[in-house]
Structure 1
Amino acid sequence: MPYNRYLDIGSKCELHGVTAHFVDSDYKMHKRILNFCVIDSHKWESIGNLLENCLIDWGHEKILTITADNAATNTKAIEYVRKKINGWKDSNRVLGGVHMHMRCGAHIINLIVKEGLKRLESSIVAICNAVKFVRSSPSWLSYFKMCVETEKIKCKGLVVMDVPTRWNSTYLMLDAALKFRKTFDRMGDDPDSSYLMYFKEDEGDGERIEGIEGSGKGKGKSKTNKRVGPPSDEDWEKAVTFVMFLKTFYDVTLKISASLHPTSHSTFHDLLAIDGEIQELYRYDVTIPIEERTTMDTLLNDMTASMKKKYDKYWGEIHEVNPFLTIGVVIDPQFKLRNLKHIFEEIFENDPTCERLVAQKTNEVKQLLMNMYEVYKPSSNNMGATSTTNESGGSTNNETDSSLVFGGLDRYLLDPLESIDEEFDILGWWRINGLKYPTLASIAKDVLAIPTSTIASESCFSTSGRVIDSFLSSLSPRMVEALICSQNWIRFEDISLLQYVPSIEEMEFYESIEIEMGSKTSTTNLNKTLPS
């Protein structure tokens, strides 16, 4: 079956799910929930056993990658699965699963951004409280709308609340609030307004941000429940800078979280874009003399330095990035190996051994691609024939000449590049050109199906409406899993494209069930007609 190569792990509370991702013969993306169940614990042993049992149940052996959060438990669980797969007899593994763990990009971006948010916590809380005021009652919302009209602000939307555990919602909250800055300032200019009184009241829940200046909960200060705010001009200026800075992170998170089109060929570019954004802001601060730096400059310096440190922890070294992401760049006909080499030149431009490093990394990527080519190329073992057709156009009998074996790969790498276009349909390109490079097309289908984020997987489990009614909540975990999986599979119309022919044993099994059910029905009907 073609969908046994790319998995991602999503979790909600104590529930874990496994989703398979694949590209079919018509070069269309698919994802299917294979497993959704309660797990005993979050220890790696439990997660590893869950994955192993899921693969055994579905009969999957060829797993290219498993996408999961970068937690130590997930790393150990994936290593456990890799060893188990490699130990299976006649396992059709790819390169021994050495690059099996694909770390969730959205999770790492979340960690990086949170480092920056720490430096702006007080300002963010102040603006968040201002938004809470608007959303706290219908009368205050009407007051806010009246001030919007007075300020002649032409914006169809309104302010939005954030979710503290999701940085992207904080970005959206700040971005929306900035459009109504004049409105908040107008409400703050009225000394008798309910807006100012809102910040003089006790917050009620007693929860404050520890260590925030002005919160009344710093070290050595007595506790107070007064709300932080209203936002000052400095708070708004910080928000302006941070929203502009965060846009790249937000856009990248949206891109890598897609599930209906490939992301593995563009994620490497996205990682470099994030690094460039951090470096740019950091370089700007360095050019300012220390005596001329403002409080904002110092704040941005601290913020970018901490974010850069977190970025380097996960993606600072090329060898820390999953190599399949660089393979994704090569199978993109807009870049191939020659443009990937240029990217390496930019990465190592400040290194005195730049030329050596570029050559080394370029050769490593090509060697990995050649190793995959050896695995994917047609052979007498998997094609049921003693002769194969090489991609140079000739026929060989178990040809071992590397110039012939890799002829299709070399031809692809030397062919002209496609023009770079943001709307470029890479799956469509391979659908048209796949016959020209059949072995490489098989690699492309597998690599392009790799999910670089678990968000798409987790969204599958957030179904619309209630799955279990609160008055009829006695469904077993097994039945809940069946409902979730069935809903996911039925919603995809393209499922009809998957041709499945049952075996003779399965046909006999289905017939035995029909006979058994038919005999039971006949007996029941007979009992109904007999006199009591």
Structure 2
Amino acid sequence: MPANNTSACEELIKYHKYELLLEGQHLHVRCCAHILNILVQDGMKIIHGAIDKIRELLKHVDSSPARLQDFNTIASRMGLSTKNGIYLDVPNRWNSTWKMLVEAQRYKSVLNSYASQKLEISPSEQEWKKAEAICEFLKAFEELTLTVSAHRKPTAHKFLPVVLCIRHALKDPGWQTHDVLKELALVMQTKLDKYWDPEEKENEEPNRRRKSKEIELNVALVIATFLDPRRKEDYLYFFYSKVCSNEEMVSKQVVIALDWVKKYVKEYELLAATSTAFSTPPSQGNTTIGSPIAGKRKLEEEFAQYKSRRRSRVHKSELDTYLDESCEEDTLDFDVLGWWKKSAVKYPILSSMARDFLAIPLSTVASELAFSCGGRILGDTRSSLAPEMLQALVCAKDWLFIPKGDEGQGHEG
């Protein structure tokens, strides 16, 4: 699927280059959930080796009803709920390994007691601590994957914070409490460098360094973060100060990002001017005058828009005004799209940009699920449905089924 997305974007740019904003330079946004999956999968061999004893013990318990019954007897005696079956991980789903470890940690005392009674190999206390550390490590990536996989609310403005969280997990010594986590972080960092890490490698040979030290993050996602009124330019400085090696690099990257913002603002201004020029003028013939109240409201709206345009011409641009104002307070229930909707009169150009940039999904999970759903509805034995009916069934399923918390649907390898 990622390869198909890349090919589709290349074809779009090839044949519709001049119809796209800035010739489609930032059209292709990689699926963040897929990249997160790749990062963790690179370290799964290390993880599997570190938790091998726990997995084998769980397999032993789950291998027969009698053994499971013995396990449940011990669990009941210790005040824990009984199990109908033991959760085991699947090789190509790293989050299944995390779920297995969560379950194993909960029944740690039961598993140790069971192993002692059955004379099975039991993980040592050090191995349990190692598994607990791996579990916490994977939990962070599970939460990040659910964040980027959400598809019923905007996610593009969360991209830079997600990158910082990943870097924190891989670079902060506080996370790396065991040698296995240090090794795991090193393997995953190599993959992170390939996709998202803009930090300059001072120790690399000059001919191996990136030709341009422009950040290798998609500019569209950087702009989406900039268009979050809680972050703006301040967060760009904060982000680059975390990932760049010196202050000069920080300032350079922020200037590059703001230059792209200005270029897109000019593009949207041209689009707005073209739209106004070709819009149908109001009829000057015989018209029916509505109620005075309706007319007054309309005039007030027009006056508000006129004031906004006049101020932008006489004083400063929308972009300058947006930058000069203080950032909004960061609350859990903050609605970024709602804020731009309310600010559309004040920032007509930036609000149009926000609608487009904040609509960029960070993950292709939702679209892949839609295609999978279509394949199940229009199968080999039921292939005569009209396209309209297929579309109606797919949409109805999506509208009727709203996952709790808008969570992701899993992460396949």
Fold-level match, TM-score > 0.5? yes
Report the 3-state secondary structure (helix = DSSP H, G, I; strand = E; otherwise coil) of the residue aligned with 1:244: helix
Take 2:334 and 2:41, find their aligned partners in 1: how far apart are those partners? 33
Greater helix content: 2
Pick from 154, 164, 182 the counterpart of residue 301 of structure 1: 182
- Tell me how far 1:162 sits from its aligned partner: 2.1
Take 1:159 and 1:422, find their aligned partners in 2: how far apart are those partners? 36
Check if 1:320 corresponds to 2:320.
no
Pick from 408, 429, 434 the counterpart of residue 318 of structure 2: 408
Report the 3-state secondary structure (helix = DSSP H, G, I; strand = E; otherwise coil) of the residue aligned with 2:29: strand
Take 1:488 and 1:284, find their aligned partners in 2: how far apart are those partners? 43
Which residues of structure 1 form unaligned runs of 5+? 1-10, 12-68, 197-228, 286-295, 495-532
Take 1:466 and 1:74, find their aligned partners in 2: how far apart are those partners? 22
| C-alpha contact (below 8 Å) 1:168/1:250 kept by paired residues | yes
Check if 1:421 corresponds to 2:313.
no
Take 1:373 and 1:155, find their aligned partners in 2: how far apart are those partners? 60
Check if 1:98 corresponds to 2:25.
yes
1:24 corresponds to which residue? none
2:351 corresponds to which residue? 441
| C-alpha contact (below 8 Å) 1:267/1:325 kept by paired residues | yes
Once the two structures are superposed, residues 351-407 of structure 1 have per-residue CA deviations (whole angstroms, 9 ceiling, x without a partner) of: 2xx2322221111111111111112225442223699999783657xxxx9966971
Check if 1:454 corresponds to 2:341.
no
| C-alpha contact (below 8 Å) 1:104/1:453 kept by paired residues | yes
Q: Give, as a single letter, the amino acid of the residue that structure 1 aligns with 2:17.
A: N
Take 1:157 and 1:464, find their aligned partners in 2: how far apart are those partners? 33
- Tell me how far 1:464 sits from its aligned partner: 11
After TM superposition, the score normalised by the length of structure 2 is: 0.77
Greater strand content: 1
Q: Give, as a single letter, the amino acid of the residue that structure 2 aligns with 1:299.
A: V
- Tell me how far 1:131 sits from its aligned partner: 3.1
Instruction: Percent identity, please.
Output: 30
Let me know the Cα RMSD of the aligned residues: 3.4
Choose 1 or 2 for highest CA Rg.
1
| C-alpha contact (below 8 Å) 2:112/2:122 kept by paired residues | no
Farther-moved stretch of structure 1 (481-490 vs 255-264): 481-490
| C-alpha contact (below 8 Å) 1:408/1:437 kept by paired residues | yes
- Tell me how far 1:140 sits from its aligned partner: 3.2
Report the 3-state secondary structure (helix = DSSP H, G, I; strand = E; otherwise coil) of the residue aligned with 2:169: helix
Alignment of 1:481-496 (within 5 A): 484-491=390-397
Take 1:249 and 1:76, find their aligned partners in 2: how far apart are those partners? 28
- Tell me how far 1:299 sits from its aligned partner: 2.7
2:17 corresponds to which residue? 86
Q: Give, as a single letter, the amino acid of the residue that structure 2 aligns with 1:110.
A: N
Which residues of structure 2 form unaligned runs of 5+? 199-213, 282-301, 401-413
2:299 corresponds to which residue? none
| C-alpha contact (below 8 Å) 2:133/2:178 kept by paired residues | no
| C-alpha contact (below 8 Å) 2:137/2:169 kept by paired residues | yes
Q: Give, as a single letter, the amino acid of the residue that structure 1 aligns with 2:345.
A: L
Q: Give, as a single letter, the amino acid of the residue that structure 2 aligns with 1:486.
A: A
| C-alpha contact (below 8 Å) 2:169/2:175 kept by paired residues | no
Q: Give, as a single letter, the amino acid of the residue that structure 1 aligns with 2:192.
A: Y
Alignment of 1:156-305 (within 5 A): 159-191=86-118, 196=120, 231-281=123-173, 297-305=178-186
Take 2:135 and 2:386, find their aligned partners in 1: how far apart are those partners? 41
Once the two structures are superposed, residues 212-271 of structure 1 have per-residue CA deviations (whole angstroms, 9 ceiling, x without a partner) of: xxxxxxxxxxxxxxxxx6544443222111111122211100000000011100111011
Report the 3-state secondary structure (helix = DSSP H, G, I; strand = E; otherwise coil) of the residue aligned with 2:156: coil
Structure 1's 234 and 462: CA in aligned 2 closer, same or farther, altered over 3 A? farther
Take 2:341 and 2:38, find their aligned partners in 1: how far apart are those partners? 37
Take 1:80 and 1:105, find their aligned partners in 2: how far apart are those partners? 22
Structure 1's 391 and 335: CA in aligned 2 closer, same or farther, altered over 3 A? farther
- Tell me how far 1:410 sits from its aligned partner: 1.3
Q: Give, as a single letter, the amino acid of the residue that structure 1 aligns with 2:396.
A: I
